[in-house]
């Protein structure tokens, strides 16, 4: 490929942590430990892809959650409440993230093949540096070593859905033009990040947040259940503006060939 210069990959649900389980379950636990307040896994998944403080703040701004909060505490949530939940979340996440560092089947082979062909592999995450300092070495033990890793607190302007983490990769990788980058993500906010940065975007449906099941849970479903969840995931990511949607990063090579052809014809995202 002569025109694609880099892939900018999300972490959980895209390369590692099938189903994006690690962050979601910890949000539920942090709310419970911090305030004895219950949120569901589905609610926790809603803002996935954002920086974790912003994620908690967004959850507490959801009308249904705010109503339950006010009924329980007799007041609306405050920024101090967000701080407390975040401070509860962080050590729990750091303790657990390495357990979900194994790359999803098929992703390493594709990544290594692309790196060998000269395509750079960037990465960014809703995780802050304190979590990435645990996750990145754990993933490296399995053989996943991106050429760049940007955490949610590396950018002064903020994190997703803004373009800053994706564009920070462009700078660190020495990319000549943003339109030569492909942003790959399993969350709506991650797709929006790529669009805001002016990149091609590819949504990951089955292995990520849009379905939200572990590999074992997914495999236990019958075909009709899988088809229904897949349909919903594809619709969700397409509606977010993804140029393409695929089941897994392992399936991306035909998409890259199509983007390569479009770039050769002068097309832009």
What is the per-residue burial (b if ≥16 Cβ within 10 Å, else e) of 172-182? ebebeebbbbb
Catalytic, out of 52, 54, 81, 186: 52
Six-digit token string for 93: 């996440």
- Secondary structure of residue 147 in the 3-state scheme: coil
Full pLDDT tens readout for the chain, 269 residues = 899 999 999 999 999 999 999 888 899 999 999 999 999 998 998 888 888 999 999 999 999 999 999 999 999 999 999 999 999 999 999 999 999 999 999 999 999 999 999 999 999 998 999 999 999 999 999 999 999 999 999 988 778 899 999 999 999 999 999 999 999 999 999 999 999 999 999 999 999 999 999 999 999 999 999 999 999 999 999 999 999 999 999 999 999 999 999 999 999 99
Domain chopping of the chain, boundaries = 6-20+103-264, 22-98
Q: Report how far residue 151's alpha carbon sits from residue 171's, in angstroms, rounded to the nearest whole number.
A: 14
Q: What is the pTM of this model?
A: 0.91
For the question of residue 52 being annotated catalytic, the response is yes
Q: Report how far residue 134's alpha carbon sits from residue 48's, in angstroms, rounded to the nearest whole number.
A: 20
Domain 6-20+103-264: CATH class, spelled out: alpha beta
For the question of residue 64 being annotated catalytic, the response is no
Q: Report how far residue 128's alpha carbon sits from residue 70's, in angstroms, rounded to the nearest whole number.
A: 29
With CA atoms as reference, report the closest residue to 237 among 221, 248, 253, 250. Answer: 248
Catalytic, out of 10, 17, 54, 81: 10
CATH T-level assignment (fold) for domain 22-98: DNA polymerase; domain 1 (1.10.150)
Quick: pLDDT tens for 235-244. Answer: 999 999 999 9
Quick: pLDDT tens for 56-106. Answer: 999 999 999 999 999 999 999 999 999 999 999 999 999 999 999 999 999
């Amino acid at each position: 490929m002569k025109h694609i210069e880099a892939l900018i990959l999300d972490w959980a649900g895209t390369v590692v942590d099938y189903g994006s389980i690690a962050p979601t379950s910890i949000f539920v636990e942090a709310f419970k430990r911090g305030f004895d307040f219950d949120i569901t896994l589905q609610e926790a998944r809603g803002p996935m892809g954002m920086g974790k403080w912003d994620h908690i703040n967004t959850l507490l701004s959801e009308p249904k959650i705010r109503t339950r909060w006010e009924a329980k505490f007799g007041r609306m949530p405050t920024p101090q409440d967000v701080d407390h939940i975040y401070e509860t979340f962080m050590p729990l996440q750091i303790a657990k993230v390495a357990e979900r560092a194994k790359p999803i089947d098929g992703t390493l082979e594709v990544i290594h093949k692309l790196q060998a062909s000269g395509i750079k592999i960037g990465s960014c995450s809703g995780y802050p540096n304190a979590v990435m300092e645990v996750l990145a070495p754990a993933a490296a033990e399995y053989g996943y070593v991106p050429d760049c890793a940007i955490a949610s607190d590396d950018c002064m302007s903020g994190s997703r859905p803004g373009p800053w983490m994706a564009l920070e990769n462009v700078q660190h990788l020495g990319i000549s033009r943003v339109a030569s980058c492909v942003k790959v993500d399993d969350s709506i906010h991650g797709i929006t990040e790529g669009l805001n940065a002016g990149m091609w975007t590819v949504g990951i449906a089955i292995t990520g947040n849009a379905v939200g099941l572990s590999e074992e849970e997914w495999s236990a479903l019958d075909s009709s259940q899988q088809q229904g969840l897949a349909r919903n995931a594809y619709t969700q990511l397409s509606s977010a503006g993804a140029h393409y949607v695929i089941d897994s990063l392992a399936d991306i090579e035909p998409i890259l060939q199509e983007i390569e052809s479009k770039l050769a014809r002068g097309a832009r995202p």
